[in-house]
Amino acid sequence: MNIPADLLYTKDHEWIKVLDDGTTALVGITDFAQSELGDIVFVETKPVGTELSEHDVFGTVEAVKTVADLFAPVDGAIVEVNEALDAAEVVNSSPYEDGWMVKVSLKDASQLDALMSAAEYSEMVGE
């Protein structure tokens, strides 16, 4: 299972990658989550401009057998939605690259300190 060391992780199986500008971040679901969900057929996110608080639902992922909520790892606002999600299967094939879900502006970077490292996430999912 792929758990990149340069990302931070939530207990709800989202990942976050702070971009070089330090004020925005990409958010998606982990390789573990997509493998547990199975074939993803639809992804729906809240629109650009939506203000989020940590743990708010920012969208849903629909797989053949289930629908799962997506939870914000930090406070922020959605500044971009990944247009590649029109082909939802990209989340299965590339959860950390092409299959990111939203780009958010960070309100409080100190919230990142509460998230898990790759090693901690790996231990949580038993890898």
pLDDT at 52 over 80: yes
Q: What's the pLDDT score for residue 127?
A: 77
- The CATH class of 8-106 is mainly beta
- Across the range 55-72, mean pLDDT stands at 96
Q: What is the pLDDT of residues 74-101, one digit of tens each?
A: 999 999 999 999 999 999 999 999 999 9
- Across the range 117-125, mean pLDDT stands at 96
Compute, in degrees rounded to 10, the torsion defined by CA atoms 99, 73, 33, 121.
120
Q: What's the pLDDT score for residue 65?
A: 87
Domain extent listing, the chain: 8-106
CB of 96 closer than 8 Å to CB of 15: yes
Q: What's the pLDDT score for residue 92?
A: 95
Q: Are strands 14-18 and 8-9 parallel, antiparallel or unpaired?
A: antiparallel
Tokens 């950390």 belong to residue: 96
